[in-house]
Amino acid sequence: MQVAERITGQSKDMPLGTIETRELDILLRFVDQRRTPETLAKLIILANPQGGEIRLGDIAQIADVFETDEEKIVVKGRRSALLQIEKTKKQDIDMLAAQIILQDWLDNISHQQENCRD
């Protein structure tokens, strides 16, 4: 059995059913999800009849990290936005209007940020 299958098999969140009473219905769930590096490290990946166990923490480094770093665009020390505009030759007037609207919006946001700092 693959390691991923072992991890999935030991980290469950699933409905069990419903208990119906006269007054209410009670929904039952089985929740044993491993979410932290510490609890994932304790998952048993392999065991033998004599009691020997290999846990995920024995064979892997487990860390809680984000997949990608936040991308920041900074111009003259201030956070900025990057805008990519694609147009055809006939879109020039529309493009000019969009640029004016965008510049107005950016100026407004910049003004709001300056007011928040005060």
More confidently predicted of 115 and 9: 9
Read off the pLDDT of each residue in 42-53 and give the average, rounded to a whole number. Answer: 88
Asked whether the beta carbons of 4 and 20 are under 8 A apart, the reply is no
d(CA 16, CA 18): 7
Model confidence pTM above 0.95 = no
Task: Indicate the average pLDDT of the chain.
Answer: 78
d(CA 83, CA 89): 19
- Name, of 1-10, 39-48, 90-99, the range with top average pLDDT: 39-48
With a CB cutoff of 8 Å and minimum separation 6, the contacts of 10 are 32, 34, 43, 44
Residue 55, classified by CB atoms within 10 Å of its CB into exposed (0-12), middle (13-18) or buried (19+), is middle
50: confidence class by pLDDT, cuts 50, 70, 90: very high
